[in-house]
Amino acid sequence: MNCPKCGNIVPEGASFCPNCGASLSSNIPQFLLVTTPTIAGYKIQRVLGLVTGLTPRTRGVFGKFIAGFESMIGGEVTAFTSEMEKARWEVIERAKNRAIALGANAIIGLDVETSDLGLQAGIVLFSATGTAVIIEAE
């Protein structure tokens, strides 16, 4: 049998492609991302290793101006909300792409963090770290 995604020859009875990690069974989602060390209903067949995604972000002068104005009023600083949300999904997607390149079909123990680079430039580093694994339904 050949993988429908990459065309690689897949062993008989396999639930995932050992080359690209694509699901060969309808009961396994294409790719799972979880913060937990295990996934209920699935068993980890193989641990492929650590994957990360990083992006340093800063707001431009206009964004800082709007944020300064919003902080005087109080409440949520919406000038940063959308950028932070985009950065969070960007680092998760980068980690996912690295996991797929290793042949994973899931990431377990996913952790997303932020930190100030401390350069007095308002640069925030977003990072996503997890363990790339190959899973199959129990």
Domain CATH for 132: 3.30.110.70
Residues 6+ apart with CB under 8 A from 92: 33, 53, 110, 112, 128
Query: In angstroms, what CA-CA distances link 112 with 29, 94, 99, 103?
Result: 22, 12, 15, 22
- pLDDT at position 42: 94
- pLDDT at position 123: 81
Does the residue 43 lie in any domain?
yes
- pLDDT at position 45: 95
Residues 6+ apart with CB under 8 A from 30: 22, 23, 105
Does the residue 18 lie in any domain?
no
- pLDDT at position 9: 80
Q: How many folded domains does the chain comprise?
A: 1
In tens, the pLDDT along 46-71 reads 999 999 999 988 765 554 555 555 55
- Domain of 107? 32-58+87-137
- pLDDT at position 85: 85
Low-confidence residues in the chain, pLDDT < 50: 28, 63
CB 19 within 8 A of CB 6: yes
Does the residue 27 lie in any domain?
no
